[in-house]
Chain A
Amino acid sequence: MTILRHTRLAGYGFVLPALVLMFVILLVPVLVAAVLSFTDYSLGNSTADWLAWKNYEKIFTRSSYQKMLWASALYVLIVVPVSIAFGLAAALAIHSLRFGGNLYKTIYFLPVMAALLAMAIVWETALHPTIGIVNRSLEAGCGGWVETFFSWGWIPGVDPESSWYASSCQEGFPLWLGEKRYALATICFIGIWQAFGFNMVLYLAGLTGIPRELIHAAAMDGARSSWQRFRLVTWPMLGPTTVFVVTITAIRSFQVFDTVEALTEGGPSKTTYVMMYAIYEKAVEQNLMGMGSAITIVFLMLVMVMTALQRYMVERRVHYS
């Protein structure tokens, strides 16, 4: 009896610090943001005016905020499928190799470990118009067989003169981070470069969990090509992994900030004006805490919907074990 009472008290004592911190650090801020999002609060002011829904109205009607929603959506819609496809392809290839698989795995995982901000700065150097290795290598291909090949002139019916490579050779290769056409794509590229190794590792773990007998059985039953075996066995068996990978990549790419802040600052013409950067710019740089809070709330809603969706999918059991 005394032990029971004793452990009960200990239980409360052990849970209390965590409970207090959960409220103060995670739950109260959500409420604070929710309340401030209806005001025009800024730091240093003792009072703030009640604006009701005006901040939210702006988010969904003003063109700069529409560009923000669009940039975030586009970033997520590009980075998630591409980094997952590459991650899965790399995992499948590595898993089926006879030797050397671990080496590729190590290399592909390096970007996950490296500070994204530092690597963003390095990418900026690599993409620099004069000292950058990327444009320099592309220029080196001009006039030779590389240009002939990548101008696609050898494909019947294609005019090599109008191809991207040939015209870039004429007019110069793009300023990857400075041109409206390329900036978001370049930021996405860095995001994919960084994320796909993480997805690969999760898929490799998923692949080792698939019993070999299942694949042999499918082969016996007439799934002759490896594509058929993938479609009928491997892909369905990877269901739970895929649900998880999709959610975590979506949530992470939704929070993209480092590359945008260091390389484009939302520009050119707000093409890379993603939500986390908007929150930072409005609230921290311009001290518009009310507006920043409103964007925060919209952001939180989206993240929570994504996670809740994942949990629902997992509970509906997207797996066959």
Chain B
Amino acid sequence: MNTGTYSTTGELAKHATLILGALIVILPFYVMVSFSLKSPQEIGTHAGGFFGSQQAFLDQYCVKLGNPEADCWRNPAAYNYGNAFKKAPLLRYLLNGVIVTVSIFVIQVLIALPCAYALAKLRFWGRELVFGLVLFCLLIPVHAIALPLYIMLANVGLTNTYAALVIPWTISVFGIFLMRQFFKTVPDDLIDAARMDGMSEFGIVWKVMLPCAIPALMAFAIFSVVAHWNDYFWPRVVLTGSRDLYTPPLGLREFQGGLDGADTGPLMASATVIVIPLLVAFLLAQRKFIEGITLSGMK
């Protein structure tokens, strides 16, 4: 980008600075994965490098329970990941996370797509008014109104249900806005041709517009799934009782709170299990992900 001269020292200095930055960025990921592989002693003494020595260690808790010592030797990695799933219902949390994020996305699309189509392509009285309302609602972050939503859900007895986790996110004004802008670019001829063929408006939304919108929908899917998989605030507010409904971040927090501090290995293993799926997906489809996450940059 620099005009004309290209300086090697400048290039090297930039690389040095960027590498230093990268090390700080990666540090917690390094700690997380490394500790999830180590035995408690290795964590305490910082021995064993990144992977730990992977030598079997004596599980003191197992000995205290009165088991013979010979039965209490454990492989560190297996112990940490095993306990992550055993001591807390991590699998259940992951399943809840999938159920909640998928339901949210599907309902968001079912609600937003027809609305966006109507705002972009149909003529009816009050259309501009509705669009104005969408623009106004863009100003309201759902987290900011979590409290009144919680009060309303509590008064109809809906706290501690899947419904409570999903309901506030069913309406995505951002999704409506985004899809409306996208549908504006779809040529009217296409819709008219579908009408000539006798297709109903309902059919047009799902059989003509939806296939057109796949790229935009993909980006929106990533935006939505990442936000709700990682969300901690809303589940924390609305789930007060049973652990059965906990989403991954809430489950992890509960796991941390219940530890006496000695079980860092299993805790880091749980964190790894929760964080890695999205990171792997991101590494596999970087362009799509960056596009999706920065969608809000298109406003």
Residues of A within 8 A of B (CB): 3-4, 6-8, 10-15, 17-19, 21-22, 25-30, 32-33, 36, 41, 43, 86, 90, 93-98, 100, 104, 106-119, 121-123, 125-126, 130-131, 133, 136, 193, 197-198, 201-202, 205, 207, 212, 215-216, 219, 226, 229, 244, 248, 251, 255, 257-258, 261-262, 276, 279-280, 283-284, 289, 292-293, 296, 299-300, 303-304, 307-308
Complex contact B293–A112 (CB within 8 A): yes
A119 surroundings in chain B (CB, below 8 A): 28, 32, 271, 275
Q: Could you tell me the distance in whole angstroms from the C-beta of A296 to the nearest C-beta in chain B?
A: 5
Q: Could you tell me the distance in whole angstroms from the C-beta of A179 to the nearest C-beta in chain B?
A: 19
List residues of B (1-44) whose CB comes within 8 Å of A's CBs: 1-4, 6, 11, 14-15, 17-18, 21-22, 24-29, 31-32, 35, 43-44
Does B279 interact with chain A (Cβ within 8 Å)?
yes
A226 surroundings in chain B (CB, below 8 A): 2
Q: Could you tell me the distance in whole angstroms from the C-beta of B17 to the nearest C-beta in chain A?
A: 7
Complex contact A198–B21 (CB within 8 A): no
A229 surroundings in chain B (CB, below 8 A): 3
Does B216 interact with chain A (Cβ within 8 Å)?
no
Complex contact B145–A118 (CB within 8 A): no
Complex contact A17–B232 (CB within 8 A): no
- Nearest B residue to A189 by beta-carbon distance? B24
Q: Could you tell me the distance in whole angstroms from the C-beta of A124 to the nearest C-beta in chain B?
A: 8
Task: Please report the C-alpha to C-alpha distance between residue A283 and residue B148 in the assembled complex, in whole angstroms.
Answer: 10
Task: Please report the C-alpha to C-alpha distance between residue A258 and residue B230 in the assembled complex, in whole angstroms.
Answer: 10
Q: Chain B 167-204 against A: per-residue CB contact (8 Å), 1 yes, 0 no? A: 11011010010000000000000000001000011100
Complex contact A19–B130 (CB within 8 A): yes
B21 surroundings in chain A (CB, below 8 A): 86, 90, 104, 108
A198 surroundings in chain B (CB, below 8 A): 293-294
Complex contact A109–B232 (CB within 8 A): no
B27 surroundings in chain A (CB, below 8 A): 126, 133
Complex contact A296–B122 (CB within 8 A): no
B282 surroundings in chain A (CB, below 8 A): 109-110, 113
Task: Please report the C-alpha to C-alpha distance between residue A212 and residue B2 in the assembled complex, in whole angstroms.
Answer: 10
B147 surroundings in chain A (CB, below 8 A): 33, 279, 283-284, 289, 292-293, 296
Q: Could you tell me the distance in whole angstroms from the C-beta of B27 to the nearest C-beta in chain A?
A: 6
B72 surroundings in chain A (CB, below 8 A): none
Q: Chain B 115-127 against A: per-residue CB contact (8 Å), 1 yes, 0 no? A: 1011100111101
- Nearest B residue to A307 by beta-carbon distance? B139
Task: Please report the C-alpha to C-alpha distance between residue A307 and residue B140 in the assembled complex, in whole angstroms.
Answer: 9
List 4 tightest A-B contacts by C-beta distance, closest first. A10-B201, A14-B114, A29-B148, A11-B124
Q: Give 10 A-B pairs besides A18-B111, A32-B152, A106-B283 with Cβ atoms closer than 8 angstroms.
A: A10-B200, A15-B114, A18-B176, A30-B140, A30-B148, A110-B26, A121-B252, A126-B31, A131-B46, A193-B25
B205 surroundings in chain A (CB, below 8 A): 14
19 sampled A-B residue pairs with Cβ under 8 A: A11-B124, A13-B114, A22-B171, A25-B142, A25-B149, A27-B137, A33-B145, A98-B6, A107-B25, A110-B282, A114-B278, A118-B252, A123-B28, A229-B3, A248-B297, A261-B236, A262-B256, A293-B147, A296-B144
- With A104-B18, A296-B144, A296-B145 already in contact, the answer to whether A8 and B124 are too (CB < 8 A) is yes
Q: Chain B 140-165 against A: per-residue CB contact (8 Å), 1 yes, 0 no? A: 11111111111110100000000000
A18 surroundings in chain B (CB, below 8 A): 111-112, 114-115, 171, 176
Does B233 interact with chain A (Cβ within 8 Å)?
yes
Complex contact A29–B152 (CB within 8 A): yes
- Nearest B residue to A16 by beta-carbon distance? B115
Complex contact B296–A248 (CB within 8 A): yes
- Nearest B residue to A306 by beta-carbon distance? B139
B294 surroundings in chain A (CB, below 8 A): 198, 201-202, 205
The interface centre, meaning the residue of A111, A121, A262 with most chain B CB atoms within 10 A of its CB, is A121
> Which residue of the partner chain, among B28, B143, B168, B171, contacts A276 with CB atoms under 8 Å?
B143
